[in-house]
Amino acid sequence: MPTTRSDCTALDAADALAHARARFALPDGVNYLDGNSLGAVPKGVAQRVAHVIEEEWGRGLIRSWNAAGWFEAPGRIGAKMAPMLGAAPHQVTITDTISINLYKAVVAAVRMRPDRRTIVAERGNFPSDNHIVDSIAETFGLSVRYAPAGAIAATIDRDTAVVELSHVNYRTAEIQDMAATTAAAHAAGALIVWDLAHSSGAVELHLDRDRADFAVGCGYKFLNGGPGAPSHIYVAERHHTHLQSPLTGWYSHKAPFAFRHDFERADGIKAMLCSTPPMLSLLAFETALEAYDGIAMSAVQAKGRALGDLMIKLYDERLARLGFGLSASRDGARRGNHVSITHAESYRIMQALIARGVIGDFRAPDVMRFGFGPLYVRFVDVFDAVEAIDDIMHKSDWKNFAPPESGAVT
Ligand SMILES: Cc1ncc(COP(=O)(O)O)c(C=O)c1O
């Protein structure tokens, strides 16, 4: 029996996370399936930012660095989100961007393995990661061995200083086995840096249990922190005593307000800070995290998986015969929180969808990504999106949209 819309409303009625949608300020008439690029706005964020501007900044002025707890905010917020990563609180801080944190983490790890000359990285990872790794290799006279994610473990050898890869791939959403790949790196004496861009806030993570060395993640995707929200970085406690970030600013100094000219590294995770945090974004992110209060990451992952399973079922029933391909794992246990569908005209089809209020994104050359913000996407939204694609194809609506110009965002 083909899946009907009322099957999906029944799934929504039985959804234990359905209540969380009320925690978001979603615009009317929009079916938002792009939480993997930019999460929706949690309620309370606008008020918090207004309060910070009017009261803490407006009235408190410079005093708020102490009085409003600004100075300690990166560590305080890192500790708040640490359980979502399966990490003890003192190992996480909120700072910089994913790419900058990746740079700091990979260099810090390379410095812990001075006799080794190779970085192993994922061919098919998000390009920024590979640009960063290539730049580090050039600066430090190392070489990079690229391998597909599935062949990473077999590529690690006794010359590998650091392994860098994404836990959830940005195109296919394939999940890597963190425990197994980390163990393979450690067995060869290497360290591992995980990119959690598509994992944090989407899937269950156990960084401590799985013995991750370093990890970096995203604030603006599934964690809904807002455009350009600061990233998070995790460093396992066992590495804190040898932690040498390449970006030693005054915030990584043990006594920033002593204004000493010699550098003395801050203890612990603070060593991964560099400079003055963007306080409005940071505090917006702190309030955004409250959308997850009281919700277990196992339930979040289960919901995302169920939404993805539904999308794939509907793809089989309605889209496969229309010339689409599936670029996602059918095994829900190995799939993160988005489903990628391919078509030679993906860009124009996505534009036609967006014109109808169904927002996903496009990744060149031919991928349409549909991400399921598990706290606010409903099963019926997935149904409506597939219905819209089906209709666009039958009416050839996509032909009304121009082919991509280079540089287009979505
Ligand atoms: C997997 C992955 N890594 C890194 C990045 C780069 O993020 P940023 O622009 O915050 O450095 C992204 C951005 O989407 C990403 O998806």
Q: pLDDT by residue (tens digit) across 351-364?
A: 999 999 999 999 99
Beta strands in 258-337 (DSSP E): 325-326
Whether omega for the bond prior to residue 365 falls within 30 degrees of 0, making it cis, is: yes
Pocket around ligand 1: residues whose beta carbon is below 6 Å from it? Answer: 97-99, 126, 128-129, 166, 170, 195, 197-198, 231
> Which of the listed residues 272, 292, 312 is the one where a domain comes to its end?
292
Residue 122 inside a domain? The answer is yes
Residue 404 inside a domain? The answer is no
Best of 37, 128, 231 to mutate for ligand 1, by most ligand atoms within 8 A of CB? 128
Tokens of 389: 């694609």
221 part of the active site = yes
71 part of the active site = no
**Active site residue: 32, 220, 315, 347, which one?**
220
> Which of the listed residues 236, 270, 292 is the one where a domain comes to its end?
292
Both 58 and 118 in one domain: the answer is yes
Residue 407: band (very low, low, confident or very high) from pLDDT cuts 50, 70, 90: low
pLDDT averaged over the chain?
A: 97
Q: Tell me the pLDDT tens digit for each residue of 2-55.
A: 999 999 999 999 999 999 999 999 999 999 999 999 999 999 999 999 999 999
pLDDT score of 81: 98
Q: How many residues does the chain have?
A: 410
Residue 403 inside a domain? The answer is no
pLDDT score of 8: 98
Residue 36 neighbours by CB under 8 Å, 6+ apart: 198, 202, 221, 222, 337, 338, 361, 369, 371, 372, 373
Both 226 and 361 in one domain: the answer is no
How many whole angstroms from 371 Cα to the centroid of ligand 1? Answer: 15
**Beta strands 118-122 and 143-147, pairing class:** parallel
Both 125 and 263 in one domain: the answer is yes
Residue 71: band (very low, low, confident or very high) from pLDDT cuts 50, 70, 90: very high
Q: Domain range holding 187? A: 47-292
Cα separation of 400 and 392, whole Å? 10
- At 294, the amino acid letter reads G
Cα separation of 152 and 39, whole Å? 30
How many whole angstroms from 243 Cα to the centroid of ligand 1? Answer: 23
How many whole angstroms from 196 Cα to the centroid of ligand 1? Answer: 9
Residue 41 inside a domain? The answer is no
Q: Is the pLDDT of residue 119 over 80?
A: yes
Both 60 and 145 in one domain: the answer is yes
Tokens 């689409």 belong to which residue?
A: 324
Best of 104, 171, 218, 409 to mutate for ligand 1, by most ligand atoms within 8 A of CB? 218
Best of 99, 122, 409 to mutate for ligand 1, by most ligand atoms within 8 A of CB? 99
Both 330 and 280 in one domain: the answer is no
210 part of the active site = no
Cα separation of 65 and 346, whole Å? 48
43 part of the active site = no
CATH code of the domain in which 353 resides: 3.90.1150.10
**Active site residue: 96, 129, 195, 361, which one?**
195
Q: Tell me the pLDDT tens digit for each residue of 275-300.
A: 999 999 999 999 999 999 999 999 99
Q: Please tell me whether the overall predicted TM-score, pTM, comes out greater than 0.75 for this model.
A: yes
Residue 114: band (very low, low, confident or very high) from pLDDT cuts 50, 70, 90: very high
Q: Is the pLDDT of residue 409 over 60?
A: no
User: Residue 122 — φ and ψ, nearest 5°?
Assistant: -90, 120
**Active site residue: 24, 32, 126, 234, which one?**
126
pLDDT score of 154: 97
Percent of the chain with pLDDT over 70: 99
195 part of the active site = yes
Residue 197 inside a domain? The answer is yes
Tokens 């009261």 belong to which residue?
A: 55
Both 311 and 237 in one domain: the answer is no
The distance from CA 255 to its chain's CA centroid, rounded to whole angstroms, is 32
CB count, 10 Å around CB of 244?
Answer: 15
CATH code of the domain in which 250 resides: 3.40.640.10
Both 179 and 62 in one domain: the answer is yes
**Active site residue: 23, 221, 270, 335, which one?**
221
Closest atom of ligand 1 relative to the 218 alpha carbon: 10
Name the more confident of 403 and 358: 358
Residue 140 inside a domain? The answer is yes
pLDDT score of 259: 95
How many whole angstroms from 36 Cα to the centroid of ligand 1? Answer: 11
CB count, 10 Å around CB of 82?
Answer: 21
Both 254 and 354 in one domain: the answer is no
Both 123 and 62 in one domain: the answer is yes
Both 362 and 263 in one domain: the answer is no
Residue 409 inside a domain? The answer is no
Mean pLDDT of 379-408: 92
Both 181 and 98 in one domain: the answer is yes
pLDDT score of 405: 78
Residue 189 neighbours by CB under 8 Å, 6+ apart: 113, 116, 158, 160
Both 393 and 367 in one domain: the answer is yes
Number of domains in the chain: 2
**Active site residue: 171, 303, 369, 378, which one?**
369
Strands in 191-195's sheet, in edge-to-edge order, are 92-94, 232-235, 214-217, 191-195, 160-166, 118-122, 143-147
Q: Is the pLDDT of residue 408 over 90?
A: no
Q: Is the pLDDT of residue 339 over 90?
A: yes
> Which of the listed residues 292, 325, 353 is the one where a domain comes to its end?
292
How many whole angstroms from 170 Cα to the centroid of ligand 1? Answer: 9
- At 360, the amino acid letter reads G
Mean pLDDT of 320-324: 96
User: Please, are residues 324 and 343 in contact by the beta-carbon 8 Å criterion?
Assistant: yes
Residue 358 inside a domain? The answer is yes
